[in-house]
């Protein structure tokens, strides 16, 4: 089931990006550039280093969150994000595996979706420091469409999360 307000022409969406292989900063910069080909990139958070979640025997990740504006419907937008991953060399081997680039659709306007292809907002975003910290940095008042809590409140209420460290702005 997908619910959305059909009267809107453009939607604000939030993307989580991460990389821990082959020059992660360059991978993130290139992914943001590729997203800019089909969405207006409004804001990019600082880059954060975070410890891996799940499969732990791998390098730390570099992560960021982008706020974008798009006219693409959610399923088409997600397909475009998957193309960004594929163009960046993403290979899906196993859950929480090391990766060249990961681009997650965290939220898309106020859309709530629970289908095999699309779950919005992202179901694990409230349990991940590498999402909540950069999201609260660029959109502290963004409100989760199901929980009704702001990004700042979600981060405050999250409790103990993985280690995360702010590195600074995405270069270049």
Query: Where in the sequence numbering do the catalytic residues fall?
Result: 90, 99, 102, 104
**Contact 135/65 with Cβ under 8 angstroms?**
yes
More reliable by pLDDT, 76 or 97? 76
Structural domain includes residue 152: no
* Nearest-10 crossing angle of helices 74-87, 24-35: 140
pLDDT the model gives residue 57: 84
Q: What is the count of structural domains for the chain?
A: 1
Structural domain includes residue 57: yes
Q: Reply yes or no on whether the pLDDT at 172 is more than 90.
A: no
How far apart are alpha carbons 117 and 78 in whole angstroms? 9
Neighbour count for residue 131 (Cβ, 10 Å)? 28
pLDDT band at 3 (very low <50, low <70, confident <90, very high): very low
- pTM for the complete prediction? 0.93
Structural domain includes residue 62: yes
Q: Is the dihedral of CA 120, 121, 124, 130 positive or negative?
A: positive
Contacts of 159 by beta carbon, 8 Å cutoff, 6+ apart: none
**Contact 151/133 with Cβ under 8 angstroms?**
no
Q: Reply yes or no on whether the pLDDT at 5 is more than 80.
A: no
How far apart are alpha carbons 165 and 97 in whole angstroms? 21
How far apart are alpha carbons 127 and 87 in whole angstroms? 28
Give the CB-side neighbour count of residue 37, counting CA atoms within 13 A: 9
> How distant is the alpha carbon of residue 129 from its chain centre?
12
Q: Reply yes or no on whether the pLDDT at 1 is more than 60.
A: no
Rounded to an integer, the average pLDDT of 42-71 is: 94
**Contact 62/49 with Cβ under 8 angstroms?**
yes
CATH number at residue 71: 3.30.70.560
Structural domain includes residue 87: yes
pLDDT the model gives residue 8: 62
**Contact 13/109 with Cβ under 8 angstroms?**
yes
Neighbour count for residue 53 (Cβ, 10 Å)? 15
Structural domain includes residue 113: yes
Domain that holds residue 113: 7-123
Structural domain includes residue 26: yes
Mean pLDDT of the chain: 92
């Amino acid at each position: 089931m997908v619910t959305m307000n059909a009267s809107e022409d453009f939607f604000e969406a939030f993307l989580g990006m991460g990389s821990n292989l082959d020059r992660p900063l360059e991978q993130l910069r290139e992914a943001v550039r590729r997203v800019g080909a089909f969405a207006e990139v409004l804001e990019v958070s600082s880059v954060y280093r975070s410890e891996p979640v799940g499969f732990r025997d791998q390098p730390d990740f570099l992560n960021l969150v982008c706020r974008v504006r798009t006219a693409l419907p959610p399923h088409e937008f997600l397909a475009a994000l998957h193309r960004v991953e594929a163009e960046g060399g993403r290979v899906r081997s196993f859950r929480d595996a090391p990766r060249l680039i990961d681009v997650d659709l965290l939220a898309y306007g106020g859309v709530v979706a629970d289908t095999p292809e699309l779950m919005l907002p992202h179901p694990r975003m409230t349990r991940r420091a590498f999402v909540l910290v950069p999201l609260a940095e660029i959109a502290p008042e963004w409100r989760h469409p199901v929980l009704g809590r702001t990004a700042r409140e979600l981060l405050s209420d999250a409790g103990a999360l993985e280690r995360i460290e702010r590195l600074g702005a995405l270069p270049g």
